Amino acid sequence: MERPAWAPRSVDISRPSVSRMYDFYLGGSHNFEVDRQAARRALEFMPELPKIMQANRAFMRRAVRFAVEEGITQFLDIGSGIPAFGTVHEVARGAHPGARVVYVDHDPVAVAHSRAVLEGDDGTDVVAADLRKPREILSSPQMTRLIDPNRPVALLLVAILHFVEDTDDPYGAVAELRDALAPGSLLVVTHASYEGNPLPQERAEAVVDVYENIRNPLIMRSRDAIARFFEGYDMVEPGLVPMPQWRPDTASEDEDPSSFAGFAGVGRSA
């Protein structure tokens, strides 16, 4: 298997990666054949996956604009993945030119490509770290340089929590991040779920099996289990809802039904 010139030497190109599969769904080019093979297997069962990813990113952009409207100009995007059109710093700076963003990912390709894209941009930085180890993120020099701990931060956990198993205590990690950020900070979450999903459950289960087979389990939590991530936060209206229903730019009736295959919400810490 030939290694592309842009691929870091440390990357195992024989094993699929969630972030590179996501890149493939969105039409990106920073993925390997092994990622494309796994993504195509998932697409056999759920060809709507790219629509779901697009709805996910559309919600993220709306949430970022909302954060800036609320006076928040600092962003911590964990599980940021491989940069695609409409990244957090692009959206945030469209509303406030001085917005600062720290991106975090543990995929070496995502980190390397982010660094290349952001080179020379003093208001952004990238941390190679894992959500399951919040202390490493919070103590990183990138956080120290860019994030003022005395001012609110928008913490983005978009399409990442459903890749963290309960045995790795995702609730504890989210609580640790909450307690480290200034009061008035926002938590922005999207999460896959069988609940409210308009697609047949057996097709969704087949996609879950694809991720299980590549040793990246996809955890489909209930709405109540997703709501637990917002403990210590006051939910922003309209609460925890299907992605297209969170403050849509246009009438949600126009949305593809598949984009309702998960929940989205924003909370504000007291």
Structure confidence by residue, pLDDT tens digits, 124-141? 999 999 999 999 999 999
Mean pLDDT for 192-213 is: 93
Mean pLDDT for 12-16 is: 82
State phi, psi for 232 to the nearest 5 degrees.
90, 0
Do the strands 74-78 and 154-158 form a parallel or antiparallel pair, or are they unpaired? parallel
For the chain, helix (H) and strand (E) counts, in that order, are 10, 8
Among 124, 175, 177, 173, residue whose Cα is nearest residue 147: 124
Provide the 3-class DSSP secondary structure of residue 258: helix
Please tell me whether the overall predicted TM-score, pTM, comes out greater than 0.75 for this model: yes
pLDDT at 86: 86
Q: Please check the confidence at residue 145 and state whether its pLDDT lies above 90.
A: yes
Inter-CA distances, 29 with 79, 113, 143, 168, Å: 18, 11, 29, 31
Q: Please check the confidence at residue 250 and state whether its pLDDT lies above 90.
A: no
Q: Please check the confidence at residue 198 and state whether its pLDDT lies above 60.
A: yes
pLDDT single digits (tens) 77-115: 999 999 887 899 999 999 999 999 999 999 988 998 899
Residue recorded with tokens 């126009």? 254
pLDDT at 188: 98
pLDDT single digits (tens) 227-248: 999 999 999 999 999 999 999 9
Among 5, 16, 4, 69, residue whose Cα is nearest residue 216: 16
Average pLDDT across the chain, whole number = 93
pLDDT single digits (tens) 54-72: 999 999 999 999 999 999 9
Domains of the chain (ranges, CATH numbers): 18-269 (3.40.50.150)
Q: 12 falls in which pLDDT band (50, 70, 90)? A: confident
